[in-house]
Amino acid sequence: MTKSTKAANANEEPRTTIRAMRIEVAKPLNRTWDELGSILHVQRTIMGQLLQAGVDAAIACQVVGPELVKKVLAPNARAEKASGLAYQGILRELERIREGKWADEQRPGLEIASGILAGASKRAFSDLMTYRAAQYGKRRSGHGKRGRASYGQRQPIQVPRVDWKIVQDGKFFELHVKVLSKGTERLAVRASRGSHHGMLADLAAETIKRGDCKLVYDERRKKWYALLAYHAEEAAPRTVDPARVLVVHRGVNNVLTLLPSTGERAVFIAGQKFIGQRKKLQARMRDMRRVSSCERGSGAQGHGVARRFESYDALEGKLSRIVHTTCQQWAAQVAETAERFGCGMVVIEDYGGIEPQENDYLRRCLDRFPFFRLKTAIQQALMKRGMHLEEVPSEYVSSKCPRCAAADTRFHNTRTNVFHCKECGFERPADFVAALNMLRRSSADTTTWDKKLEQERKLAEKMRATA
């Protein structure tokens, strides 16, 4: 979400983007984890109930009208709109929760002074409840697909920007956050590196504007994390030229070869990490097929027969997630490279017809490579940046000489992935040759590369003449 602010006068303020940073909470400094943990767990438990009560009150305003809802919830309240009545529904639900049976050490957790019961966050959550109620109205009238909002029992703890800050003490940072009606909790933050360390220093110096905070508990790691929102200056958009083209070729040694039409050096994206992960998971999946269900065991860990083997479905789901994430990362690299070179169009293979390969290794790579996912991810990444996509045929792109136009499948050595033309002696990596041929098949201007190849041809002739 991007927020653009303009001054009333002629001078415009810089555009800012709301971003979030996740940091790990190491330990509390003014009390023990037993004391603070019980308070935080109570708050995250009842947060979903409060949100649900607010949304239900906003929906009731649409169904029976605000007048009747006000009589039921808060007859003496000043609120007359759906957002104000939703807040009254939250207060009423909180009072009902407080009357329940709670242990003495959990009672302080019911003092929710931050989050939805204070200041700007109150208005933000009221708007959220009104929006969810409007979506429910569209569902009832047949114009939408979203229904009544439902919240789980483990919600993040909302903290408005006025109730938290970062304090720096030398190389260490502390998070001061208000979760009770009185006092401030001091939380030691785990050491951060790189850009996170610099961003925490800027938040401590208050050189950047901070937003709201969320305290989140990771059930798997049994740790608390803080999501800190801040306003960062939006980078100025780079100018792209529609006449400039970036070619994306699917290679063998390199997963992707990126060649700009401006004559600059090609960029290669290696895929050894992805290939290694896929091989390991596929090997474990093959081992799972050889294990019978009775030998694998059905009892949970610590009860009955220990679970000694992972299930095949879990490994298959993990492989699918790795493929999806890797394709998204490669697509982001393609879009960033095109933006860096100022290219307004990206050319990819249509993957409709791939030349037959007798080599078993190459055939296996071509069959198992996630072409469709990668193509879809590249399309989505380019669409966000306003760039265009063009597809060209991919048949025999690595078997044709880009300098003399001679074509022969024997020119491409599939073992070394090197292209060597027997006619003119042109020799380059096969991925580079394929990307250059794709550029010629597209609608881009290839004058720059034609001049470079012509200069190289003349230099090679002079060297052969003087030899």
Neighbouring C-beta atoms of residue 169, cutoff 10 Å:
9
For residue 89, name the pLDDT band (cuts at 50, 70, 90): confident
pLDDT over 80 (residue 300): no
Identity of the residue numbered 91: L
pLDDT in tens, 148-160: 667 777 888 988 8
pLDDT in tens, 201-238: 999 999 988 888 999 999 888 999 999 999 887 666 66
Could you give the CA distance from residue 98 to residue 109 in angstroms, rounded to a whole number? 10
Bridge partners, 372 (sequence order): none
**Helices 312-341 and 371-384 sit at what angle, rounded to 10 degrees?**
40
> Cα 358 to the chain's mean position, in Å?
39
> Alpha helix (H) ranges present in 78-207?
82-98, 119-141, 195-205
Q: Locate 226 and state its tokens.
A: 């803080």
CA-closest candidate to residue 457, choices 434, 433, 426: 426
pLDDT for residue 136 = 66
Q: What is the mean pLDDT of residues 331-350?
A: 89
> Alpha helix (H) ranges present in 300-446?
312-341, 360-368, 371-384, 430-441
pLDDT for residue 353 = 46
Could you give the CA distance from residue 207 to residue 118 in angstroms, rounded to a whole number? 25
Place of tokens 């909790």: 185
pLDDT for residue 151 = 77
Q: What is the mean pLDDT of residues 434-444?
A: 88
pLDDT for residue 121 = 59
Domains identified in the chain and CATH numbers: 2-6+14-233 (no CATH), 241-271+322-466 (3.30.420)
Is 434 or 354 the better-scoring residue by pLDDT?
A: 434
Query: Which 3 state secondary structure label does DSSP give 464?
Result: helix
CA-closest candidate to residue 189, choices 28, 336, 36: 28
